[in-house]
Amino acid sequence: MDGRTRSALVAAAMLVAVAAGGCASAQRPEVERVAGEFAAAGPEARCALLAPAVVAVLDAQDGCETGVAQVPAGSSDVVGTEVWGDDAQVRLPGDTLFLTRTATGWKVVAAGCRPAAEGPYVCAVEAG
């Protein structure tokens, strides 16, 4: 591979990396909006912000509204946000939420999450 070809490939790779990062950062405001709404909402509104798989699990137990009541309403102030393609994590002062992008927008797939001693997180509400 000659120098010009290598330079062109490096430039193309850098452009893809910047574009991918830009896509993630472009999603951040919407991800944070959904997480903030979930944190401040009542049970009925929270159920509307959950991914369908999570709603199905909660409905099979004691019902969605009863299930989301396990996660106390809290501050919607965002401490940190990470977006990886169609998945995101939003850290709030009293909670960590995980979201996924669906055909209808960003939805919460796990809430009431705390770092676990063994493994990544333990969540009060999740699909699995």
Domain boundaries along the sequence of the chain: 3-126
Q: Following DSSP, what letter does each residue of the chain receive, concatenated?
A: --HHHHHHHHHHHHHHHHHHHHHHHHHHHHHHHHHHHHHHS-HHHHHHHB-HHHHHHHHHTT-HHHHHTTS-------SEEEEETTEEEEEETTEEEEEEEETTEEEEEEEEEEE-SSSSEEEEEE--
Specify the pLDDT at position 2: 41
Specify the pLDDT at position 82: 96
Average pLDDT over residues 65-80: 90
Specify the pLDDT at position 23: 58
pTM flag (> 0.85): no
What are the pLDDT digits (tens) for 78-111? 999 999 999 999 999 989 999 999 999 999 999 9
pLDDT of residue 73 exceeding 90: no
What are the pLDDT digits (tens) for 21-34? 445 788 999 999 99
Specify the pLDDT at position 13: 33
pLDDT of residue 118 exceeding 90: no
